[in-house]
């Protein structure tokens, strides 16, 4: 048996050795810390316009379209007038063509003076003066007119295809509106074309030139050498051509002046 003292020493050595034994730990290498200062950059974005024209662009477009229509209308009128034959013209320097003058129905007063055929109204109404010599199928008709008094309450017109009580066509101009329509004895007026003439009409009080070119079923209306509409209709293939004025006021005075009325016949 081992002496008791030796056992105690051995246990002491074992315990001491265990406590003095070093366990190597793996060394860790720290990651390098990089410090950086970021300078923010401001990116300026300028939005692009998305297909919305500016007023200047719209005005330019309208001017271009009006110029193109003017050129087209002028070219067509010039081509047709090369083969046209003038059958009537009156500059209203006098009353050689025996237009009605005087007072009619107490509301309409007609005079020819100062180179104008003047039609004055004290109430609402319409007047018609026709070229009675012959009916025309294919023709060019022109009228220079102005609203001298009454502003938007008065109008001047070219009428054509007039077949008495059956009906006729009427191209009517106001200061802010135009229309081409059929007046029928047995029905409501039928609008064939209408619109706003503001881009081509002259200033209030100035003369405007109305023109109608009629060939077969093709009807073209123009204002100051600009085509407003071209339509096909054969409701009245032929008839008399004339002028008309209207008052749409029962209170304010309306006065319309006509300056020149001319008709050319075109080949059938």
Consecutive 10-residue averages of pLDDT for the chain (268 residues): 43 43 44 43 45 66 75 77 92 95 96 97 95 95 96 95 92 97 86 96 94 96 95 94 96 95 94
Residues pairing with 242 in the sheet:
130, 159
Which pLDDT score, from 0 to 100, does residue 35 have?
45
Which pLDDT score is estimated for 36?
A: 42
Query: Which backbone phi and psi does 229 adopt, to 5 degrees?
Result: -160, 150
What is the value of pTM for the model shown?
0.74
User: What is the spatial distance between Cα 227 and Cα 99, in angstroms, rounded to a whole number?
Assistant: 30
Three-state secondary structure along the chain? CCCHHHHHHHHHHHHHHHHHCCCCCCCCCCCCCCCCCCCCCCCCCCCCCCCCCCHHHHHHHHHHHHHHHHHHHHHHHHHHHHCCEEEEEECCCCCCCCCCCEEECCCEEEEEECCEEEEEECCCEEEEEECCCCCECCEEEEEEEEEEECHHHEEEEEEEEECHHHEEEEEEECCCCEEEEEEECCCCCEEEEEECCCCCCCCCCCCEEEEEEEECCEEEEEECCEEEEEEECCCCCCEEEEEEEEECCCCCCEEEEEEEEEEEECCC
Tell me, what's the pLDDT at 53?
A: 55
Q: 214 pairs with which residues across the strands? A: 139, 219
Q: Can you list the domains of the chain with their CATH numbers?
A: 60-265 (2.60.120.560)
């Amino acid at each position: 048996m081992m002496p008791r003292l030796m056992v105690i020493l051995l246990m002491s050595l074992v315990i001491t050795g265990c406590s003095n034994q070093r366990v190597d730990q793996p060394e860790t290498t720290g990651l390098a810390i990089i410090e950086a200062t970021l300078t923010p950059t401001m990116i300026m974005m300028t939005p692009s316009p998305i297909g919305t024209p500016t007023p200047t662009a719209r005005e330019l477009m309208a001017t271009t379209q009006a110029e193109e229509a003017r050129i087209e209308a002028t070219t067509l009128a010039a081509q047709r007038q090369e083969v046209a034959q003038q059958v009537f013209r009156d500059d209203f320097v006098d009353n050689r063509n025996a237009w009605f003058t005087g007072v009619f129905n107490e509301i309409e007063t007609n005079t020819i003076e100062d180179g104008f055929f003047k039609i004055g109204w004290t109430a609402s109404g319409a007047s018609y003066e026709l070229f009675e010599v012959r009916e025309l199928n294919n023709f060019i008709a022109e009228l220079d007119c102005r609203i001298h008094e009454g502003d938007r309450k008065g109008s001047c017109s070219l009428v054509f295809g007039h077949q008495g009580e059956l009906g006729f066509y009427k191209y009517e101009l106001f200061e802010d509106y135009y229309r081409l329509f059929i007046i029928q004895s047995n029905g409501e007026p039928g609008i064939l074309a209408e619109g706003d003439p503001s881009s081509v009409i002259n200033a209030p009080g100035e003369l405007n030139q109305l023109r109608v070119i009629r060939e077969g079923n093709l009807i073209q209306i123009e204002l100051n050498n600009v085509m407003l509409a071209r339509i096909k209709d054969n409701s009245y293939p032929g008839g008399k051509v004339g002028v008309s004025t209207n008052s749409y006021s029962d209170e304010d005075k309306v006065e319309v002046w006509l300056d020149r009325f001319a008709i050319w016949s075109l080949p059938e």
